[in-house]
Amino acid sequence: MVSKKTKVEILVLLVAIGIAAMPSAGASAEISQIVEGYALPGETIDAHLTLNATEPMGAIHLRIDYNPLVANITSVTQQNGFDVLVSNTGEGWIEFICYQTGAVGAWNTTFTFSIQAVGDYCTKTTLNTTVITLKNNTGSPMTHDVHDAVFRIGIKGDFSGDMDIDVWDCAYLCRYLIGMGGYEELCSGDLSGDGVLDSYDCTYLARKLVGLA
């Protein structure tokens, strides 16, 4: 027969094991790509994905999917923080892992992708990031927020798609915002940098054209 004292000791031990197995409190990471990247047809640009964590990271496994009719990611490099980077690319996707072989860990790191514009002018694709594994430097899972990006073939601010940035783009964007027929598509996204496409972008572009922004 197990004594009451022994039962209490077993319960305390099980609670201690459960706590030890839980992820570290507050272990999280922010995964952000450039909000929007632009390239002309046939051009190759560098795009960046950054990870900022609340504690050292030890292992990362990510995948990015995109429209292969618009873009092609040809390679990925890592600027700091991890000892090993292994990647694989296919039509419309890239998958990569990086990890620490030592006990230091990395609080942040940046991945740089070479993206080639293979589609037509005024086309776009979302760069959808999937987290397969994200663990801290002791092997515990980390929570994460992912902010996907958009890759556009065009010129930032060229809302009309005529490969020129002028006051016509102000008019075109205004007509798009009020839902006027014939102005359903834009070749550019947010211009002001506040992350929202609205009437302020019309004002921002007008001010920029006269040298005020």
Range of the domain at 202: 167-209
- Are residues 125 and 71 located together in one domain of the fold? yes
Residue 66 belongs to some domain of the structure: yes
Query: Which domain CATH number covers 59?
Result: 2.60.40.680
With a cut of 70, say whether residue 120 has pLDDT above it: yes
Predicted TM-score (pTM) of this structure: 0.81
Tokens linked to 193: 């940098």
Q: Would residue 162 count as lying in a domain?
A: no
Show Cβ contacts of residue 136 under 8 Å, excluding neighbours closer than 6 positions.
23, 24, 27, 53, 55, 56, 57, 58, 105, 142
72 lies in the same domain as 121: yes
pLDDT at residue number 34 = 80
Same domain for 52 and 149, yes or no, is yes
31-85 pLDDT, tens digit each: 988 878 999 999 999 999 999 999 999 999 999 999 999 999 999 999 877 999 9
Do the domain assignments include residue 109?
yes
Q: Are both 182 and 131 inside the same structural domain?
A: no
Within this chain, do residues 114 and 193 fall inside the same structural domain, yes or no? Answer: no
Is residue 105 located within the same domain as residue 199?
A: no
Q: Are 56 and 136 contained in the same domain? A: yes
Q: Any idea of the CA torsion for 90, 137, 26, 96, to the nearest 10 degrees?
A: 0
Confidence of residue 213 (pLDDT cuts 50, 70, 90): low
**Most confident range, picked from 4-8, 91-95, 143-147:** 91-95
Structural domain includes residue 49: yes
Total domains, the chain: 2
User: Do 42 and 143 share a structural domain?
Assistant: yes
> What pLDDT digit, counting tens, does each position of 159-175 carry?
999 999 999 999 999 99
Characterize the bridge pairing of strands 143-147 and 28-33.
Answer: parallel
CA atoms of 87 and 95, how far apart (whole Å): 6
> Given this model, what pLDDT does residue 3 score?
52
Q: What band does 104 get if pLDDT is binned at 50, 70 and 90?
A: confident
Helices (H), the chain: 4-21, 167-177, 199-209
79 and 106 share one domain: yes
In a domain, 160, yes or no: no
Is 193 found in the same domain as 125? Answer: no
Q: Is residue 36 part of a domain?
A: yes
Tell me what pLDDT residue 106 has.
86
- 97 in the same domain as 36: yes
What's the confidence (pLDDT) of residue 163?
Answer: 95
Residue 76 is given by DSSP the state: E
The Cα angle at residue 40 between residues 118 and 119, in degrees rounded to 5:
25
Judged against a pLDDT cut of 80, whether residue 6 lies above it is answered with no
